[in-house]
Amino acid sequence: MGCVASFNKHCDVCICLLKDYKGEIKKNNFVYSNYGKTKNNKNTTFYKRELNKALEQLNRDVKYQHESEQFKELNEIYQKLLSLDSQRNNDIYDENDNNNLNQINV
């Protein structure tokens, strides 16, 4: 996905954050202890916070139709990643599902 020059800075930030967030979700992000499995979401929480900031900035900067389309596309990718992250956190993530991380292009 290419971004328009005037829209470039925040758009590129979002794309990089989305790629990193996708990579973080792919990791087996569980910590095993004697008491069972506990979840370590420190990194995904960071990406969620930063993505929310970057998407809010993009939303404020939207002036043209093509920028609006790019914003919508980035937001849709983010929503899919949030959904998959939630599934993974609830131990219902299926690697063989057609809507898994491998199907999301960032």
Supply 42's token pair.
Answer: 């420190």
**pLDDT at residue 55, rounded to an integer:** 92
**Segment 45-67, tens digit of pLDDT:** 889 999 999 999 988 888 888 88
Q: Which 8-state DSSP code applies to residue 98? A: T
Q: How far is CA 86 from CA 57, 89, 103, in A?
A: 24, 5, 17
Where the chain has pLDDT below 70, the residues are 1-8, 28-42, 91-103, 105-106
51: closest CA among 1, 11, 86?
11
Is this structure's pTM higher than 0.85? no
Q: Give the torsion sign (CA, 41, 42, 43, 48).
A: positive
